[in-house]
Copies of this chain bind each other. A is one copy, B any other.
Amino acid sequence: MLSKSRISLLQSLQQKKFRKQHGVFLVEGYKSVIEFVNSAYQIEAIYYSPASGSKLSKLLHNKNTAEVSLTILEKISSLKTAPDVVAVVKIPDWDNLKPVSLKNKFSLALDGVQDPGNMGTIIRTADWYGIQDIICSEDTVDVYNPKVVQATMGSLSRINLRYTDLASVLTDAQMPVYGALLNGENIYSTTFASEGLVVMGNEGNGLRPEITRLVTEAITIPRVGEAESLNVAIATAIFCSEISRNKLAGNK
């Protein structure tokens, strides 16, 4: 059994303020929980439904697991249908972790992406394409938001993240900074360097002027039809795809 106060703490994790205060976030659902258990993230506790006990035998070796009723899972879950397992996972202290080098690879830089679904999809897509690092401006949506965690489908467990002053990172990067801009080079005829940063902007406003100024390679995804713009997760995916294609072509 979980105490009332513990339940209300877990419920409060749907809000960023309380995630920050308690230093933990929720991961919901069997597949995602397994991915976090097998990652560098620290698991504080795992709660599972009576029905899922046998399926979770692997997890049960962990000291901090407890069987709870489905009613309790429903209370603490952010999902419409309660998952059969949730994990309480520690938010890494990215600021004090040794920053990963961005050399010799491509990383994403996000300038104020706001929609949790977009953010989650960007993380999942980055993970598919082998991009390991995402640098976020301070006002980018919190990746430990339950909707983001859900949309990453476990990929969040494998990506290095940093919330920071994006302009400083871009200024100090000493590598190409690719940005999706109007009137840039056609992405389909661009030869990407062997390392770089891809900067993507906010859903409504795109890149801030101070970030746009730091873009060294303005790139355009050519429009054939009529839509005014592409969704930011889609545009990010097309950059990841083209970079991947370039690399595969280069290795031939």
Contact = CB atoms under 8 A, between A and B. Distances in A.
A224 B131 CA distance: 9
Interface of A: 117, 121, 124-132, 151, 153-155, 158, 186, 188, 221-231, 233-234, 237-238, 241-242, 244-245, 248-249
Contact of A230 (B128, B222, B224): B128
Contact of A226 (B121, B127, B188): B127
A133 to B, nearest CB: 12
A225 B158 contact: yes
B224 A128 contact: yes
A244 B224 contact: yes
Given A153-B228, A231-B233, 16 more contacts: A121-B231, A121-B234, A125-B234, A127-B226, A128-B221, A128-B227, A128-B229, A129-B223, A153-B229, A154-B227, A155-B227, A158-B225, A188-B249, A222-B248, A233-B234, A241-B242
A155 B234 CA distance: 15
A164 to B, nearest CB: 23
A70 B233 CA distance: 33
A241 B244 contact: no
Contacts of A245: 188
Contact of A153 (B117, B227, B237): B227
A241 B241 CA distance: 9
